[in-house]
Amino acid sequence: MEGNQYYNYNSSYSGLENTTQNTGSYYQQSQEPEKKKKKKGGFGRKLAGGVAIALVFGLVSGSVFHATNRFWGSVFPEQEEVSNVALNRSSTSVVQTNTTAEKAVDGLLDVSDIVDEVMPSIVAITNMSEVTYRTWFGQTATQQSESCGSGIIVSQDDHYIYIATNNHVVSDATSITVQFIDETTVGAEVKGTDPGSDLAVVAVALEDMSADTIAKIHVATLGNSDELKVGEAAIAIGNALGYGQSVTTGVISALDREVTVSDENTGATVTNELVQTDAAINPGNSGGALLNAKGEVIGINSVKYASTEVEGVGYAIPINTASPIIEKLINREVVDESKAAFLGISGVGVSSSVAETYNMPEGVYLYQVTEGSPAEAAGLMAGDIITSFDGSEVITTSELENAMKYCAAGDQVEVIYQRQTEGAYREYTTTVTLGSKN
């Protein structure tokens, strides 16, 4: 629209010194590289299409709402306590959040009891990575870049605490640090990622944590996003602006919104059905929790609709969509190199711009299929475009390679691909028995 500007914010945030007021943007990239330069891409992703740009941030937030005591009494009738649905929770010392706290004070919704219970399950995540930039003399150089985001403690076993977050929060990280409710920080590692759903799991070793910290943190209780109703309360907790955890409230604005997000670096786009909320999603909010009135996690905040004419439109990944992916990332292990799998293809990613130009689907275009390979045996041919591998959506070759890391020689995996037939692409599914890379 003429006169309307949209902004795509980088998800990293380290303070307000970069704030500008005349553009509507929280901050802009400086022309000269600083000692710690914000990554231009990575976390920054935008809403594809002609309406506006969606922001993908590194933490969670929300927007405050008010209502009369009578209104909230009708919106929040007494509800039964639900059972524990946290993923893979073991019998060790981390307790479960209490989801029965809810009260109204002086005619306003008071969520302090909910926050007291849930805050120990929310963490701040710091991502250190290398960023490449071009100097004034035309040379390329690299330097450290620091980005921040949020995460939710969703599970634990006898050795690790598992934290769910967004893939863009931890992408390209050379090191990751997690800060808990007591402000202690511990090094962490990426357990697994699923770029297609923008989800990731970070693991923290229990042996690296003090007994005091373990006693103070909680495993979040996961709710049922399929039961959400438009208009019910939504509470967001996260490390907004990188200042530490903060709380805001709003409502569920809409359900099953199709949101297409494009990666600034690769141009790849992903379309998912998300929960819409008027909770304000600010820089540093991705990976944090969207809660219902019982303190259950019903979404993982990740995207904001950014326009000078739009206010209070944010999106979260429904927890029922995220849970099976998170569980898979927690349980699967990277295969030892001696058992590494072989598919037998050579390909290139089809970005959204290429797909639009040549009227073809996004995915991994196969320009060669090795003779006698597992791919050929499964019926794949040069010219096919792989869109899903072993349940994970793939658009770039790096996403396909990432999915292959968890597969061993001899494994049977489902591959979804598209093939041009009579001038149009049609979708097919095949099962591939992977060979040995060695």
Chain segment 279-307, per-residue pLDDT in tens: 877 777 889 999 999 999 999 988 777 67
Residues 152-165: what's their mean pLDDT? 95
The catalytic residues are: 168, 198, 286
Residue 276, phi then psi, degrees to nearest 5? -95, 135
Please, where in the chain does CATH 2.40.10.120 lie? Answer: 1-332
Residues 224-251: what's their mean pLDDT? 88
How many angstroms separate the Cα of 388 from the Cα of each of 3, 196, 364, 396, 413? 40, 9, 9, 11, 10
Q: Please check whether residue 320 is in contact with residue 225, taking contact to mean a CB–CB distance below 8 angstroms.
A: yes
Written as six digits, the tokens of 162 are 């598992």
- Mean pLDDT, the chain, as a whole number? 77
The domain 337-436 having CATH identifier 2.60.40.10: the answer here is no
Question: What is the DSSP secondary structure assignment for residue 321, as one 8-state letter?
Answer: H
3-state helix, strand, coil in the chain (%, to 5): 15, 40, 45
pLDDT of 203 reads 95
Across 226-235, 257-266, 333-342, least confident range:
257-266
Q: Which residue has the higher pLDDT, 348 or 391?
A: 348
Residues 221-244: what's their mean pLDDT? 90
- Our separate counts of H helices and E strands in the chain read 8, 26
Residues 342-361: what's their mean pLDDT? 90
d(Cα 388, Cα 395) in Å, to the nearest integer? 8
Indicate the pLDDT class of residue 347, thresholds 50, 70 and 90.
very high
Please, where in the chain does CATH 2.30.42.10 lie? Answer: 337-436
d(Cα 190, Cα 345) in Å, to the nearest integer? 27
Q: Please check whether residue 171 is in contact with residue 39, taking contact to mean a CB–CB distance below 8 angstroms.
A: no
Tell me what percent of the residues of the chain surpass a pLDDT of 90: 42
Neighbours of 122 (CB within 10 A): 29
Residue 135 CB-half CA count within 13 A? 7
pLDDT digits (tens, 9 = 90+) for 367-422: 999 999 999 999 999 999 999 999 888 888 988 998 898 999 999 999 999 999 98
pLDDT of 30 reads 35
Q: How far apart are the first and last CA of the chain?
A: 55
Domain 1-332: which CATH class? mainly beta
Q: What is the pTM of this model?
A: 0.68
Across 46-55, 208-217, 413-422, least confident range:
46-55
Residues 224-229: what's their mean pLDDT? 94
Residue 91, phi then psi, degrees to nearest 5? -90, 15
Residues 104-130: what's their mean pLDDT? 79
Residue ranges of the alpha helices (H) in 179-256? 211-216
Helix (H, G, I), strand (E, B) or coil at 317: strand
CA 70, 98, 182, 90 dihedral sign is: negative
Residues paired with 142 in a beta bridge: 132
Radius of gyration of the chain measured on its C-alpha atoms: 22
Across 138-147, 263-272, 308-317, least confident range:
263-272
d(Cα 254, Cα 183) in Å, to the nearest integer? 35
d(Cα 410, Cα 340) in Å, to the nearest integer? 10
Q: Which residue has the higher pLDDT, 241 or 367?
A: 367
Q: Interior CA angle at 268 toward 329 and 325, to 5°? A: 15
Written as six digits, the tokens of 389 are 């591998």
Question: What is the DSSP secondary structure assignment for residue 70, as one 8-state letter?
Answer: H
d(Cα 352, Cα 361) in Å, to the nearest integer? 8
Q: What is the separation of C-alpha 40 from the centre of its chain, rounded to a whole number of angstroms?
A: 18
Residue 198 CB-half CA count within 13 A? 35
What are the CB-based long-range contacts (under 8 Å, 24+) for 369-374? 369/344, 369/345, 370/344, 370/345, 370/346, 372/344, 373/342, 373/343, 373/344, 373/345, 373/435, 374/342, 374/343, 374/344, 374/432, 374/433, 374/434, 374/435
d(Cα 87, Cα 320) in Å, to the nearest integer? 12
Q: Please check whether residue 278 is in contact with residue 250, taking contact to mean a CB–CB distance below 8 angstroms.
A: yes
